[in-house]
Amino acid sequence: GGCGGVIHPPPRRPRVSMALRRLLPPATRSVVHHLARSISASSSYGLDDATAAAAVARDRAIRVDHLALNTEVPSSSLAPGVASVDEDDVRRKRLVYRSKQRGWLEVDLLMGTFAASHVPSMTSAEMDEYEEILNQETIEIFEYVTGKHTPPPSLDTGMMRRLQDWAASSPVGTSPSSYANLKDKANMT
């Protein structure tokens, strides 16, 4: 788009440096790549080309920063005598947190209880598969895990089957009172 009848090529998609990409977990890298492609393919929302390109670049930078695994924590947050945090521990805590904070009670409970029980013993490859599932929209996670819809091939993994088996065992119950009891028990207030 442009003005005055002049057609301008779409803005160049900003690139994420390879060094920065290596800092991201594999599942997060695929999300950043997908988002970058979808953002650059979208319209400019009536903005001039320079403003649209700047908005796309800023959006990507914010998403990369948000999805990056930050292992720098203030010393006041560390246990006495501990100088740094382990990257795997940070990733596991983030996965559990993201599982418990989906914004939909049933999914919070289902994914949160699964994560609390299983994430601590997951391998790095299993965490990649689990994170790929967590990167989906909450409603899609619910539909895939409960079997209402078939997951796409990229999500149809051993981890998805473990989640589906977990959901089929009704670990969160089937009534509002059982949800409330489990929420209290799982410290998800």
**Residue with more model confidence, 17 or 68:** 68
- Four-residue CA torsion sign, 16, 70, 22, 155: negative
pLDDT band for position 189 (cuts 50, 70, 90):
low
pLDDT band for position 78 (cuts 50, 70, 90):
confident
The pLDDT value recorded for residue 138 is 94
pLDDT at 135 over 70: yes
The pLDDT value recorded for residue 2 is 45
Q: What is the mean pLDDT of the chain?
A: 78
The pLDDT value recorded for residue 49 is 84
Q: For the full predicted model, state whether its pTM sits above 0.85.
A: no
The pLDDT value recorded for residue 160 is 97
**Residue with more model confidence, 69 or 124:** 124
**Residue with more model confidence, 26 or 94:** 94
CA 89 to chain centre: 17
pLDDT at 25 over 60: no
Phi, psi of 175 (to 5 degrees): -135, 160
pLDDT band for position 8 (cuts 50, 70, 90):
very low
d(CA 122, CA 124): 7
CB neighbourhood size of 52 (10 A):
19
pLDDT band for position 13 (cuts 50, 70, 90):
very low
pLDDT at 104 over 80: yes
pLDDT at 41 over 50: no
Contact between residue 111 and residue 100 where contact means Cβ atoms under 8 Å apart:
yes
For residues 131-169, one letter each, b for 16 or more C-beta atoms within 10 angstroms of the residue's C-beta and e for the rest, the string is: bbbbbbeeeebbebbeeeeebeeebebebbebbeebbee
